[in-house]
Amino acid sequence: MELKDFKRRDIGSAYIFLNTEATPTDGWQAFKRFVKRTIKGELFVGLWIVLREMIRFDIHTLQYPLEKIEMSPRYRAIHRLLRLFESGSERCIGCGLCEKICISNCIRMDTHVDEKSRKVVSEYSINFGRCIFCGYCAEVCPELAIVHGAEYENAGEQRAHFGLKEDMLTPLDTFKAKHQKEFQGFGALSANADENIKQTPLAY
């Protein structure tokens, strides 16, 4: 923290105001703005496309919500926290890289040392209201613990919506039923990862 940060005791002045379009002051100005915004030549381009597709009758529209699309593994939707296939324990080691790299600052975690003197993540949260689903967290994760799921229906009633660890972590029954699949998408190892590794010599 720099010295100048301590000098700013009045927080109000930190707002930045943009130069926006002038607000109409009377009814005539408001009407002019309405006409200018509503009637544009591009409108007819769009109407023509709709009309053309309607006449063709071979449309590919999915009957949502009755039908849902199968997302590609590279699609970035609501996050998931995975478990280790061998032991079923959480993959996350609490390194904090996702927290650091997150450009919208929406990841937070609490860590502590447990009785086996390991680092454990006691709390983990993502504010989905802020998350821009950029995928950096999944890409930076060294354990492939945080990944993007395929669940794309994330409309909410509130601006802030927090996903906690228990919401994102593979539930134990799902895990035991072997429904957890290895993640193939953003941040996963490439197929030829082994070829790119240079081995360190070992004395034994």
Partner 1 sequence: MSEVVITIDGKECKAQEGEYVLGVARRNGIFIPALCYVTGCSPTLACRLCLVDIDGKRAYSCNARAKEGMQVVTASEEIEKERRAIMEIYDINHPLECGVCDQSGECELQNYTLHMGVDSQRHCIADTHRPTKNWGKIHYDASLCIVCERCVTVCKDMIGESALKTTPRGGAELDKAWKDKTEKDAYAMWNKLQKSIIGVASGAESLECTQCGECTAVCPVGALVGTDFQYTSNAWELKKIPAANPHSSDCSLLYYDVKHTGIQNSEPKIYRVSSEHNYAPLHAAARYGFDFQNEVEGKDEAAFAKAVELLKTKVDTIVFDSYMTNEEALILQKIKEKYGYKLVNQDAKAYQDFLKAYTHTSGQSLYSGDLDKVKASNFVVSFGGAIKTDSPNAGYAMNNALVMNKGAGLYFHPIFDPIVENYSKNLVSITHTIGSEETIAYLLLDLFGDKEAMPESLKTYLASFHTIEKRKVQESVKEEIKELVKDEESGEEKEVVKSVTKTIEKEIEVDTNALVAMIGAQSDLIETVQKLLDKKDRFSLIAGADLYTHPRAKNIAALLGLIERLTPFDVLLVPSRTNTLGIALTCELDDEKGDFALGYNVKGDFTLSALGKGDLAMPALNQQEGTLTSMNKRVVPTNAALLFKGYCLNDIANALGLEAQWTIDYTPHLPIEKGFKSEKFDDLPNHFENDGTEKRGYLLTTENVTCKDDVEPMANVTCNESDYVYAANPVHQFSAFTNRAHQLNEAGALYASRAFLEAKNLNDNDTVIVESKEGDRLVIAVKEDKTLGGMIPYLPSFDTKIDTTPFFKTGYRFADVTIKGVNHV
Residue 203 found at the interface with partner 1 (CB under 8 A): yes
Q: What are 6's two structure tokens?
A: 């301590």
Residues numbered 2 to 21 that lie near partner 1 (CB under 8 A) are 3, 6-7, 9
Residue 73 found at the interface with partner 1 (CB under 8 A): no
Residue 140 found at the interface with partner 1 (CB under 8 A): no
Which range binds partner 1 by CB under 8 A, 69-77, 81-89, 94-102, 166-174? 94-102
8 vs 60, beta carbon nearer partner 1 = 8
Q: How far apart are the C-alpha atoms of 135 and 186, rounded to whole Å?
A: 7
Helix, strand, coil % (nearest 5) of the chain?
30, 15, 55
Residue 108 found at the interface with partner 1 (CB under 8 A): yes
Look at residue 5 and give its three-state secondary structure. Answer: helix
Residues 6+ apart with CB under 8 A from 131: 104, 106
Using CB under 8 A, pick the residue from 31, 34, 53, 123 that binds partner 1.
123
**What are the CA-CA distances from residue 75 to residues 50, 152, 185 (Å)?**
28, 9, 7
99 vs 139, beta carbon nearer partner 1 = 99
Using CB under 8 A, pick the residue from 81, 90, 94, 169 that binds partner 1.
94
- DSSP-assigned beta bridge partners for residue 111: 121
Q: Nearest approach, Cβ of 135 to partner 1 (angstroms)?
A: 20
Ramachandran angles phi, psi of 46, nearest 5°: -65, -45
Contact residues toward partner 1 (CB under 8 A) are 1, 3, 6-7, 9, 93-97, 99-100, 108-113, 117-120, 123-125, 142-143, 198, 200-204
